[in-house]
Amino acid sequence: MSDAGSGHTLVRRLSRWLVRVIALALAFVVLPGSAEPTKWGPIDLKSATVAPGTKLKFKFFAQQFFESRFLDTPLWAARGVKPGPTLCVISGIHGDEINSVEIARRSFQAVMPTRLAGTLIVVPEVNSLGFRNMNRYMIDRRDLNRAFPGTMRGSVTSQAARALFERVVRRCDYLIDLHTGSNFRSNVAQIRVDSSNPKSLALAENFGVGVIIEGRGPAGSLRREAVKAGVAAIIYEAGPPYTFVREEIEAGTRGILNVLDYLGMYASNQARTRSKKLKGSSWILSGYALFHIGTFE
């Protein structure tokens, strides 16, 4: 090869190299008017940071009581690999309603974060001392579900409500609060929802398990205060307190997976059914138990 020929080859190689460098640089240029790529990374939950595609269980807050004991509330979080909404599942606000705790546990276990979009946050036993002692109420004998959104200058119950509301509830897009009947009464599987809130109603209908009872809920209840704060929220109630009921637990878990599917967070193979709407509700005595039913529209 002549000197002139080797010179041309060198120029061609340099040209090809230059073209590759320019093409690579252009690949990282965001053109004017094009959307910024969505930033999706770890979620900082104050007590812990959860990386995309992972799950973590950790202690959420330690609430010190007058007698120097602590309310240690666990918090479980699954951070998806893709951006999406935050669904919060809250259970054990009433410590004796143990079906709800098992529903929360199974739901969290069922979700693989590597297939998840968005974030699933589970607070499985808010009233953790009540759960361990089978006590509906908080340690100061107050009902936590009448104390939201709470205040840090109030009672122990009010402070616990405040901590949960500010640190968890306000960052949820959707919320499912799990309960059962109280005082040895058994509730027919039902969803309670403020039907004037379209996002909450859609959540209720797509839960797909049980009947829907309309209403805003009592003042100070988590569901009512969450909706006021802009979080779509429903309650799922099923079965009695103090007892695990397999069918109710399986149905509740199925409902949460239905909602995850509806929100586009987690694909589920199961078919969803729409729930029936009821207006009002009442108690009937049947054998040894009281059952909570609704009145069909």
Residues binding Zn ion (CB under 5 A): 94, 97, 179
Rounded Cα distance, 89 and 111, in Å: 13
Number of other residues whose CB lies within 10 A of the CB of residue 272: 18
Q: Which is nearer to Zn ion, 97 or 225 (CB)?
A: 97
Q: Which is nearer to Zn ion, 180 or 197 (CB)?
A: 180
Handedness of CA 54, 37, 202, 215 (dihedral sign): positive
Smallest gap, in angstroms, from Cβ of residue 93 to Zn ion? Answer: 6
Spatial CA neighbour of 129 closest among 87, 176, 92: 92
Smallest gap, in angstroms, from Cβ of residue 296 to Zn ion? Answer: 24
Q: Cα 54 from chain centroid?
A: 16
Q: Which is nearer to Zn ion, 40 or 291 (CB)?
A: 291
Smallest gap, in angstroms, from Cβ of residue 64 to Zn ion? Answer: 25
Rounded Cα distance, 148 and 226, in Å: 9
Smallest gap, in angstroms, from Cβ of residue 178 to Zn ion? Answer: 8
Residue 188 three-state SS: strand
Q: Which is nearer to Zn ion, 97 or 214 (CB)?
A: 97
Q: Cα 32 from chain centroid?
A: 37
